Amino acid sequence: MAEQKKQANICVVGSSNMDLISRIPRLPKIGETLVGRSFQMGCGGKGANQAVMAARLGARVTMVTKLGCDPLGRITYDNFRELGMDTSYVFFDQELFSGVAPIMVDDEGRNIIVIVPGANDNLLPADIRRADRAIRSADILICQMEVPLETSIEAMRMARAAGVRTIFNPAPARTLPQEIIELSDIIAPNETETEILTGIAVKSPGDAEAAACKLRDMGAAVVIITMGELGVLLLNKEGSSAHIPARKTRAVDTTGAGDAFIGTLAYFLALDKPLQEAIKRANSVAAVSVGRMGTQTSFPARAEIEELINGPI
């Protein structure tokens, strides 16, 4: 009998938003009105994006999130279902609206994002405890910062108690209690978030290594710092560092590229791929994402990713 192939089992606790994306020639000045070139609406939110990327790769994904009882919430919920995700712990708030994210993208692919959390702010530790089964049975738990901090901490405590590997993406960044850093088997900020967390401006791989060492001193086990076109800096649990170069691409829209990276990283780590190999594959997927408009709409399909890595997943 042929050996059954392992399926990645990933639980994501995090936000769901509706992205409202306007394409503009350049970023506006204060008080200035610009005429946009195009508009599109799409499902987003850091948690949902990371979950969708993992699901597109073929993972068994459980999403733990909270939506409003409104048309945008229904669109998001239907999107999860169409991707085959487990929606047992997608909760609906009776009072707050679904989260939204107005986004402006200029001709160089740079963006300005405003997040209005809505129901995301009411995803509470009690909701997470209701999702105990999904968290404890996962290969990997992913958390971010677009839901209340105590909610992410509760999920990561539960994962640690069950021996479940955790990836913490501290975005949007702010000052963090040491506990959540210590609960992170992998902490994965970008260069801007790294500077907020450590006070070290990341302008080079050397800067990233210094910042990663500081995050290790703060309690993180493994640090992965994404730096856009500068690539990724890894500091592993043994204290060794490695710089993984970025895949060259022309940036059209960087929105969601970091989420594509995290979702892909989690997927390949859940399949027991070596850490550096998982990072290289995540880098390739993120590079495809920045070459396209939109958030989840920019994520490559499984067949495209197999072509990128020159073989079946």
Strand partners, 60: 9
What is the per-residue DSSP string for the chain?
Answer: -PPPPP--EEEEE---EEEEEEE-SSPPPTT-----SEEEEEEE-HHHHHHHHHHHHT-EEEEEEEEESSHHHHHHHHHHHHTT-B-TTEEEESSSPPEEEEEEE-TTS-EEE--B-GGGGG--HHHHHHTHHHHHT-SEEEE-SSS-HHHHHHHHHHHHHHT-EEEE---S-----HHHHHT-SEE--BHHHHHHHHS---SSHHHHHHHHHHHHHTT-SEEEEE-GGG-EEEE-TTS-EEEEPPPP---S--TTHHHHHHHHHHHHHHTT--HHHHHHHHHHHHHHHHTSSSSGGGSPPHHHHHHHTTS--
The pLDDT of residue 311 is 60
Strand order in the sheet with 9-13: 90-93, 60-68, 9-13, 140-143, 165-168, 186-187, 222-226, 232-235, 241-244
Thinking of the domain 13-25+37-308, which architecture would CATH place it in? 3-Layer(aba) Sandwich (3.40)
pLDDT at res. 2 = 47
- The predicted pLDDT at position 1 comes to 42
d(CA 109, CA 299): 16
Domain chopping of the chain, boundaries: 13-25+37-308
What is the predicted pLDDT for the residue at 313? 61
Nearest by Cα to 145 from 289, 247, 259, 238: 259
Q: What is the 3-state secondary structure (H, E, C) of 142-183?
A: EECCCCCHHHHHHHHHHHHHHCCEEEECCCCCCCCCHHHHHC
Spatial CA neighbour of 130 closest among 106, 97, 154, 101? 154
Q: Which pLDDT tens digits describe the chain residue by residue (313 residues)?
A: 445 578 999 999 999 999 898 999 999 999 999 999 999 899 999 999 999 999 999 999 999 999 999 999 999 999 999 999 999 999 999 999 999 989 898 988 888 888 899 999 999 999 999 999 999 999 999 999 999 999 999 999 999 999 999 999 999 888 899 999 999 999 999 999 999 999 999 999 999 999 999 999 999 999 999 998 899 999 999 999 999 998 877 777 777 899 999 999 999 999 999 999 999 999 999 988 888 877 788 888 888 878 877 666 6
Instruction: Quote the pTM value.
Output: 0.91
Phi, psi (rounded to 5 degrees) for 171: -135, 135
Residues assigned a catalytic role: 259
